[in-house]
Amino acid sequence: MALINENYLKLPGSYLFAEIAKRVTTFKAEFPEANIIRLGIGDVTQPLTPAVVEGLHKAVDEMAHAETFRGYGPEQGYNFLIKKIIETDYRSRGVELEEDEVFVSDGSKSDVGNIQEIFGVHNKVAITDPVYPVYLDTNVMAGRTGGFSNGIFENVTYLICNAENNFVPELPTEKVDLIYLCVPNNPTGTTLSKKELKKWVDYARTNNSIILFDSAYEAYIQDPELPHSIYEIEGAKEVAIEFRSFSKTAGFTGTRCAYTVVPKTVLALTANGEKHPLNKLWNRRQTTKFNGTPYIIQKGAEATYTPEGQAQIKSVIKYYMDNARIIKEGLESIGIQTFGGVNAPYIWLKVPKGLDSWSFFDKLLHEVHIVGTPGTGFGPSGEGYFRLTAFGNKEATIEAIERIKNKLSL
């Protein structure tokens, strides 16, 4: 009989969102009349913008005629999109990239999950805690961690981020090889300044480590002083790979388009000590296992870069950030301590004294019929915290906060 990859068995069973769904279903069965508002999921609610829809329609029409039909495209993405990415997302912020340093894909989830394949299994991994669970789980699957006990995986360096350290991770005391940074952070909604990022770039340069920098939420940054890309930090092009997505920037969660930047200057070692560019390895991985993002979708993504396209996606982001402000101000007005929500669409709140993340979940569901996400779902340092998202529609968000303000017993 075939043998399974036993690493999969190390992953704890019931996944966070499955447990949330179970509790909501039980509640609904008991209280079918309750009008439940969901501020838990990280999915967007507003439709694709007109410029994107037009771009998609035009591309569909091209596919309908033999002269303009496209079959397999370049695995790395079409140049028309890569050029726009380089010009608009990077050159405008003083970062120069070459076209073969940008790899278009069908989503950052796959890219941040797949990237670990190009690294040896014995690398030591550091992740901020709490964070988007995909970084850790994919390293568990690959066998880069030990077993799971007392809520943590062995052989992983957890970089604690909590109110005590202002959600700024400290440099590890032991040497680590792969460092995952998510900025702005999901779930805490907090960011890192240029000075803080410089600390990590310097660490990586000194220790021959690689930074895996996920900036899926960079479009939500409002503070003009904050960096949007790790490459705004001197030396980062030697040590960092960056992930970006159209999902939250332009409502592409169901449409699927993202990109990963692997500068040719990012090197890692072979077993006999030779330096090797990671760009070549990622290119090899993608050309072997991925057949490119659909032409139609890349045309939709390209449409976000026209002047109207940019104005439209910015207005949707403003809509969500208004929700974030409403949630944050509402919670603070009743004495709940909040973090994030200013440069990111996530509000991370400290659960009231005497409760843990899951008991606050139950309280919110039962008393005011609102679904959020318990902080523990994002790592052990998420205990005692709770995530609400600004991705709902405005009316529901206002209603949810009014209920919390007026009906939640604190």
Task: Identify the H or E element spanning 56.
Answer: helix 50-63
Give the residue with the Cβ less far from ligand PLP, 112 or 233.
Answer: 112
| Residue 245: closest CA among 109, 112, 108, 111 | 108
Q: Is residue 159 within 8 Å of 169, Cβ to Cβ?
A: yes
Give the residue with the Cβ less far from ligand PLP, 28 or 84.
Answer: 84
Q: Please, what is the minimum distance in Å from the beta carbon of residue 21 to ligand PLP?
A: 17
Q: Please, what is the minimum distance in Å from the beta carbon of residue 350 to ligand PLP?
A: 21
Name the residues that contact ligand PLP, by CB under 6 A.
42, 107-109, 112, 132, 182, 186, 214, 216, 245, 247, 253, 258
Strands 370-371 and 37-38: parallel
Give the residue with the Cβ less far from ligand PLP, 114 or 123.
Answer: 114
Q: Please, what is the minimum distance in Å from the beta carbon of residue 40 to ligand PLP?
A: 12
Q: Please, what is the minimum distance in Å from the beta carbon of residue 42 to ligand PLP?
A: 4
Angle at 407 between CA 401 and CA 408, to 5 degrees: 80
Strands 385-389 and 346-350: antiparallel
Q: Please, what is the minimum distance in Å from the beta carbon of residue 373 to ligand PLP?
A: 11
Give the residue with the Cβ less far from ligand PLP, 186 or 190.
Answer: 186
Contacts of 366 (CB under 8 A, 6+ apart): 27
Q: Is residue 286 within 8 Å of 102, Cβ to Cβ?
A: no
Give the residue with the Cβ less far from ligand PLP, 135 or 231.
Answer: 135
Give the residue with the Cβ less far from ligand PLP, 182 or 313.
Answer: 182
Q: Which residue is nearest to ligand PLP (CB)?
A: 107
Residue whose token pair is 């490459």: 231
How would you label 60-89 residue by residue, b for 16+ Cβ within 10 Å and e otherwise?
Answer: eeeeeeeeeeeeeeebbbbeebbebbbeeb
Q: Please, what is the minimum distance in Å from the beta carbon of residue 134 to ligand PLP?
A: 7
How would you label 348-378 residue by residue, b for 16+ Cβ within 10 Å and e otherwise?
Answer: bbbbbeeeebbebbebbbeebbbbbbbbbbb
Which pair of structure tokens corresponds to residue 56?
């998609």
Q: Please, what is the minimum distance in Å from the beta carbon of residue 367 to ligand PLP?
A: 28
Angle at 142 between CA 169 and CA 76, to 5 degrees: 85
Q: Please, what is the minimum distance in Å from the beta carbon of residue 215 to ligand PLP?
A: 8
Q: Please, what is the minimum distance in Å from the beta carbon of residue 377 to ligand PLP?
A: 12
Which pair of structure tokens corresponds to residue 247?
């999902």
Residue whose token pair is 């995530």: 387
Amino acid identity for residue 71 in this structure: G
Give the residue with the Cβ less far from ligand PLP, 261 or 368.
Answer: 261
Alpha-helical (H) ranges within 187-252 are 194-207, 246-250
Give the residue with the Cβ less far from ligand PLP, 18 or 66.
Answer: 18
Give the residue with the Cβ less far from ligand PLP, 190 or 336.
Answer: 190
